[in-house]
Structure formats: C-alpha cells, structure tokens
Amino acid sequence: MKIRKLLPFFFSGLCAVLSAAEKPHSLMTDLLEHTDRTWQNGYPSNVPIWAADNAIEELQYVEIASSRPSFGWIVPGDGKGVRQVSYRIVLSETANGALDGKGVVWDSGTVESNKSTAVPYDGEDLEPDKTYFWRVKLTTNTDGESAWSDAKAFRTASELSEYAASHYPQEKTFEYASDTEELAESSVLYDFGKAAFAQPLLTVNTDAECDTLVVHVGETVKNGAVDRKPGGTIRYQKYEIPLKRGMHTYRIKLRKDGRNTGSDAIKMPGYIGEVLPFRYMEMELSGSSAEGAAAEENILEIYPGRDAVHYPFDDFASSFECSNDTLNQIWGMCKYSIKATSFAGIYVDGDRERIPYEADALINQLCHYGVDREYSMARRSHEYLLNRPTWPTEWILQSVLIAWYDYMYTGDSRSLKANYDVLKARTLLALREENGLISTTTGRQSKEFLASIKRRDNIRDIVDWPHTGILGLNKHEGGEADGFVFTDYNAVTNAYHYEALKIMGKIAMTLGMTQEQEYFEKEAHDFLDRFNKVFFDKKLGRYVDGDTTKHASLHANMFPVAFGMVPSDKIEGVVEYIRSRQMACSVYGSQFLMDALYEAADADYALHMLTKTDDRGWYNMLRVGSTISLEAWDNKYKPNQDWNHAWGAVPANTIPRKLMGVEPLSPGFERARIKPQIASLAWAKAVVPTIKGGISLDIENKDGQYTMRVGIPANMEAEVYLPLLAKKCDVTVDGEVRKTKRVAGQPFVALGNIGSGTYEIIMKY
C-alpha cells in the first residue's frame, strides 16, 4: 500500500487590526500582562480567570505570589512629547466594583507622577487565593485626562509574601507538517519547517488490520531520511504504533531521558508532559498492507502533527529586516530560538541536561528582551540561580549583571532589594588577595564564603567552554578559550569582578544605601587602576591572560573592552588585536566579543562577524540544517553538542541593542538611547520591544543622505545619536535644521534628547 501524502487545508481569515483606544492598555501585574487568561493542559482556554473555579477540568493560570504587587501599563498617545503627569489606580474584588467604584479594596487617588512601570501597590496586604480587578486612568501633558483602562483581573497564589516573582504556565501550539516527500513505496518524510520541543501525534485512517506504523522522529536528515545516528546530543527516536482499523488519533508517549530528567534538571509539568526537540517525522508501514499489488487498493491516510511547547510568546512584538539577506536569516533563526527554547518555563542549557546556568540565562535574558515584551521568565530564571548557583567563577559574578539588566528593562527594584545580600556576596570580594585581585586557587574558598554565595562545592574559573581535550575534543584539538593560560590571577575573572563592583554601586544607589554606594564606587575605581597595572602589557599593547604569563588571548582583551575598562589611548591597539584573533571564542564568548566591538564603535568589523559564512559563525548553524541556534559553532568544535541552545542566539540581542542601538538609559526605559551602528548596510528597519511599548526604526543610507525614521512610545524620551559620516554634516528633524554635537573620541554626532512621537531625521553629508 502507498501512503497518501495528505496535508490539512488552511483557511485564511480576515484579521481586523484595531487601533488602541485613547486609554492605558497592555496592563501588567508583577510584570505579567495576561493574568486574566487560563490554559487547559497547555492550550489557551476560553474560561477567564474569574470563572476558573467553575470549570470542571483543572486549569492553569498565573498566580500572583506577592501580597503587594506592582502594576504597569502603556501610556496612550502617538503625538510628540507625550508624557504622563499623573495616574489613579482602583483595585476591587469584583469587575463591577472596579468599573463603578464600589467595593474598592484600594484607591491610589490621583498621584502626580510619570511612573507607568513598576508602580507599587500601597493598600492592605492582598488575601491569598482570590481574584482581584484593577484599572487605571491617567493625565498626560498633551491630551489631559484619559479614559479609564479596561479592568484587568489577576488571581493571588495560595501562599503570599511581600515580594515573590510570578510566571506564566507553559503553552502548547498544535502544528501540522508543512511539507512531505515520498521516500519509498511505503515511506514518507514529513517536515515541520522548524524544530520545536514538541510531542508527536498523528491521525491515521486505514481499512486494514494488523498493520504497524514505524515512526522516526528527529532533528536532522541524512540522505533524504531522518538521520538514525545524528551524533552528539542531536535527537532521534523511533516508535512503533499498532494501527486500529478506521480513523484514530495516536499520541506518541515519549521515552524518558535519564540525563535531562535527573535531579538537577528542570522537569516538565504534568499538565504538559515530556517533550522532544524534532523537525522531521518519517513514516514506514509494515504488515500485510505494505506489500503486494492488492495493497494499492487499501486505504491508508496519515495526518501528522505535533504539540509544540513554549512559554507564552508574542511573535509580533519585534521585527528586523535589512539589506543583507544573510543577516535577515540569522535574525529569524535567533528570534525563533528564544521562543523554541522557552519550553521549560525557566532558561535551560538545551536538551542534553535541561539545567539552568547563569551564562545561558544572561544571554537568554538579553535575547528575550530583544524579541518580546516579556520579563517574567528572565526574573524567574535569575532568582532560581541565586539559590542554585553553578560552578564557574565568572558565572557566579554574572548574577550581578543579570540583576541589573532585569532592573533596567523593567524598572522594578524589588528583586534587587530582596536579593541584595547574596548579590553583594557574588561580587566575590571575599576572594580578594593582598595584591587586590581575586583568585579561586589561593585558599580563600572557606565554608563561610561558599555559604554566602549558596554553593556547597568550590568554584573555578572557566573563561570559555569547552576547554581543550574534553567533551569529545582530542588533546591536539583547540578548545574555545583561544589558548588561554590559567594562572592564580585570571584577567577574565578579574574583569568580571570589576563589572560586578561597578554595578553593585548602582544597585546600592537605587536602594538608597548611600554608604554602600560610596564603598562600591571607590572599590571599582581603585580596582580598575590595579587591573590595568597588572594585566595590560605596555610592550605588547594588549592585555595578557594572567599575572605570570605573557600569553594574550582574545578573551583577556574583549572583556575589558566590553566592560569599558580600557584607557582611551590604548583602545585602538587592543581592538586591533581583537580583530586579529577573529572568532576565537565560543558562541557564549561571542556575546562579549560583539559587545566589545560595538562598545569600540567598530561597526564594520562587527557586521562582518555577524554575517560571515565560514564554520565559525551563525550562518553555519543554518547551513548545517538547524532552525534553532546550536550549542557550538559546529559539531567538530563540540562533538557532544545539542542543536537547541539559546546561548547561541546572540544576534537576537546584538541586533536590537547594538546594531540598531536601542538600550535603556534609565530604569524601565523612561529614557532610551538610540545609537544605530548599521555600518555598510544600505537600509535596516526594526521594532524593538520595551516595557513602555515598541520603538520603531527605519534607517536608509544612500547617495550622501542618511535618513532615520524613528517612533518613540509615549512617556519615553530618547537620547539620539547619528553616525559621523563626514567632517561636515547637515541635520534636519522633520525638515527643521538641528544643531548637533560631535561625540569626543567616537564616530558619532549627538542629536540630543527627543520626546515621544514619530520623527524623520535626515543627515546630508
């Protein structure tokens, strides 16, 4: 019998795009927008949160775990310079109460403030396991008083504390195969187009008895069929399904993997079930119906599908397109990687272990911010790792960086306050020796120190991963640390230490801890001078790996540049050396290489590194056949790698943060910096999500004219920079001549601050 290649019909429907009314919208409670929704076994449900108790089946929903949550909203208005000047919040136990002002639990009254993110609840502690409704109205400087927002519902958890992070349940999306290919008389390959962490299922119609369908599921193909031995941790599984006569749907129960379901792994919740990353399904029929001429008369119809699992994700929150199609493909892969690898609800290191690590979390956090207006998964992952730290020294220090990014992108300082002591310990000041540097090898890892960072075992330096001669690499094969020479005093570890000290000063300032702020600021200032004296080799004109070696790696140089540690008169030589080392780092290290290149305004070389097509670049991930970013540049650089590692998706944050140049200058994007570095691209356009709404950019550079059309959400202002393309440039904003100021030591001109609204900025050169 020949399998009929059948795909379902897809119907295109009319989609009406409704403009938002002139009222606050996109309301968030504790950084979560969809607190009023429910899910049933992962599928979005029609039952609203206030009716969840009446449902027969068990539902999943957000549980707000704070007795004193925070609120946020997007301020309406697309005019120029729109700023909120006051707000009023009403919270009630019923929807009608929120709408008509009856049964009010809390009324903030009119508060003179432009704050629209992380607005604190200031009433009596909320009660557990209860549904509340709130709404907000505001006044702006241009449009006066707004209408009330729609009422937003949320439900509290059964146990509450003053502050606790909350999160969404995981979600399922049913997907059909997008393409088929007949391999043999009784064998067909189905392609879903992209890999996903999913559960395979299929509907089969047959009039035969005693037939068995053999299903091969995998991430890659070889010789046109699902690869049965893909190597490394690339996934493949085989299942046999005894078929029943008639039409039936079969859900394949996935086998347990001993490693990624171990004690340290993040387990899939029961309402979701186990998942496997795969793109392809291959069907083989065995039995009497598969043989003989009579089999042609039998019926066998197969409709393959899968339940793809992910964290709730807005596919339309971000976009990017430019004149370089290679970069467009890389962006698409990296953006999708963030959605696909969110399957566990906490950032994990891919499918091999499913264990959270700080390095994965830092890159995943920045990428998630770059592609979606979503902040809860990053915070949940960060606070999980504060209590379960991993072994690399630098990754312990990264917790401080993650905490600061969380605050800058959300404006919510409660996590900083709740975790201040452990963050302070993770600056690793306890490892400082008499020479003023930190070391993990000089006997300072006491029980008290390990307890302060919540570790049982000692930590050790990593620099990059993997090292030479491990994880399938032979001793003669280079690892990803560019030959880094480990000494007692490591330049990379100490560079991280400086960055952590600097950030802790900012955290202390945020929390109003003046003495702590002054302490950390002085420590960072003094340490920077000490670092440069020890690790910068004046004869070589670059940084060396340690205090007792003359070896200079890419890593010893890119981290000081990324963290702003290099004296201005030394930066050119250091960056030149960085270029000479090319991509001598892993996909993890590339995060800091790209940050360093853009920090040094070396946009041309940065674009080259983003788009290069050899086997140590992101395009190679596409070329080998993956649709999710890899754990390593190629199988040969990490033979045990998996094909679903979000830390390989660095362009998902580098493109919006650095190439398009959109970053927060103040917490919660009250002020943004827009400093594009598109280099030789003829044009580029993007929508970059922020907690206050999307920033849109449309840039074109041709025929001596650089045009930037920018859209800034209400209640935000932006500090705007243009590239210095000639000694003399004439700049207009919406047709009016605007004076600019050249930025000292940088190839930019500063346009100054502009408020919300849409602008056309033209620079003729």
Give the pLDDT score at 300: 87
Give the pLDDT score at 295: 52
Give the pLDDT score at 158: 97
Rounded Cα gap, residues 415 and 398, in angstroms: 15
Overall average pLDDT of the 199-212 stretch: 91
Annotate 722-743 with three-state secondary structure: EECCCCCCEEEECCEECCCEEC
Rounded Cα gap, residues 572 and 577, in angstroms: 9
Overall average pLDDT of the 289-300 stretch: 61
Given a cut of 90, whether residue 219 has pLDDT beyond it is: yes
Q: Tens digit of pLDDT for each residue in 311-346?
A: 999 999 999 999 999 999 999 999 999 999 999 999
Mean residue pLDDT across the chain:
94
* Domains recognised in the chain with CATH numbers: 25-161 (2.60.40.10), 171-310 (2.60.120.260), 319-659 (1.50.10.10), 667-764 (2.60.420.10)
Q: What is the DSSP letter of 546?
A: B
Given a cut of 80, whether residue 697 has pLDDT beyond it is: yes
Q: Kindly indicate the confidence band of residue 230, based on its pLDDT and cuts at 50, 70 and 90.
A: very high
Q: Percentage of residues in the chain with pLDDT exceeding 90? A: 90
Token pair 């041709």 in the structure block, residue = 702
Task: Name the strands in the sheet holding 43-44, side by side, starting at the edge strand that comes first in the sequence.
Answer: 43-44, 38-40, 60-61
Count of C-beta atoms within a 10 Å radius of residue 181: 15
Overall average pLDDT of the 487-493 stretch: 98
Given a cut of 60, whether residue 762 has pLDDT beyond it is: yes
CA angle 9, 13, 14 (to 5 degrees): 170
Q: Tens digit of pLDDT for each residue in 254-272?
A: 999 999 999 999 999 999 9
Give the pLDDT score at 102: 76
Give the pLDDT score at 289: 58
Give the pLDDT score at 726: 94
Query: Residues 6 or more apart from 205 whose CB is under 8 A from it?
Result: 246, 247, 299, 300, 301
Given a cut of 50, whether residue 16 has pLDDT beyond it is: no
Q: Which two structure tokens, joined as six digits, stand for 173? A: 């999306």
Given a cut of 70, whether residue 19 has pLDDT beyond it is: no
Q: Tens digit of pLDDT for each residue in 335-380?
A: 999 999 999 999 999 999 999 999 999 999 999 999 999 999 999 9
Overall average pLDDT of the 279-304 stretch: 76
Given a cut of 80, whether residue 17 has pLDDT beyond it is: no
- Sign, CA dihedral 278-281-282-284, equals positive
Give the pLDDT score at 291: 59
Give the pLDDT score at 286: 83
**Helix, strand, coil % over all residues of the chain, rounded to 5:** 25, 30, 45
Give the pLDDT score at 2: 56
User: Which SS3 state, helix, strand or coil, does residue 338 take?
Assistant: helix
* Closest to 119 (Cα-Cα) out of 28, 25, 22: 28
Q: Tens digit of pLDDT for each residue in 36-72?
A: 999 999 999 999 999 999 999 999 999 999 999 999 9
Q: Kindly indicate the confidence band of residue 293, based on its pLDDT and cuts at 50, 70 and 90.
A: very low
Give the pLDDT score at 9: 35
Rounded Cα gap, residues 604 and 679, in angstroms: 5
Q: Tens digit of pLDDT for each residue in 556-579?
A: 999 999 999 999 999 999 999 999
What kind and span of H or E run contains 573? Answer: helix 571-581
Is the model more confident about 478 or about 481? 481
CA distances 13 to 8, 10, 46, 199, 643, Å, are: 16, 10, 20, 27, 35
* CB-facing half-sphere around the CA of 296: CA atoms within 13 A: 2
Annotate 249-303 with three-state secondary structure: EEECCCCCCCCCCCCCCCCCCCCCCCCEEEEEEEEEEECHHHCCHHHHHCCEEEE
Count of C-beta atoms within a 10 Å radius of residue 57: 8
Q: Are 53 and 83 in contact (CB under 8 A)?
A: no
Give the pLDDT score at 20: 43
Tell me if the bond preceding 466 is cis, omega within 30° of 0. Answer: yes
Q: Kindly indicate the confidence band of residue 614, based on its pLDDT and cuts at 50, 70 and 90.
A: very high
Q: Kindly indicate the confidence band of residue 474, based on its pLDDT and cuts at 50, 70 and 90.
A: low
What kind and span of H or E run contains 621? Answer: helix 618-623
Give phi and psi for 112, each to the nearest 5: -75, 100
Token pair 């403030």 in the structure block, residue = 113
Q: Kindly indicate the confidence band of residue 296, based on its pLDDT and cuts at 50, 70 and 90.
A: low
Give the pLDDT score at 7: 43
Q: Are 197 and 275 in contact (CB under 8 A)?
A: yes
Q: Tens digit of pLDDT for each residue in 623-671?
A: 999 999 999 999 999 999 999 999 999 999 999 999 999 999 999 999 9
Q: Which two structure tokens, joined as six digits, stand for 168? A: 């969404």
Q: Which stretches of 669-716 are assigned E, i.e. beta strand?
A: 671-674, 683-688, 695-702, 705-712
Give the pLDDT score at 475: 65
Count of C-beta atoms within a 10 Å radius of residue 390: 20
Rounded Cα gap, residues 609 and 6, in angstroms: 43
Rounded Cα gap, residues 681 and 697, in angstroms: 14
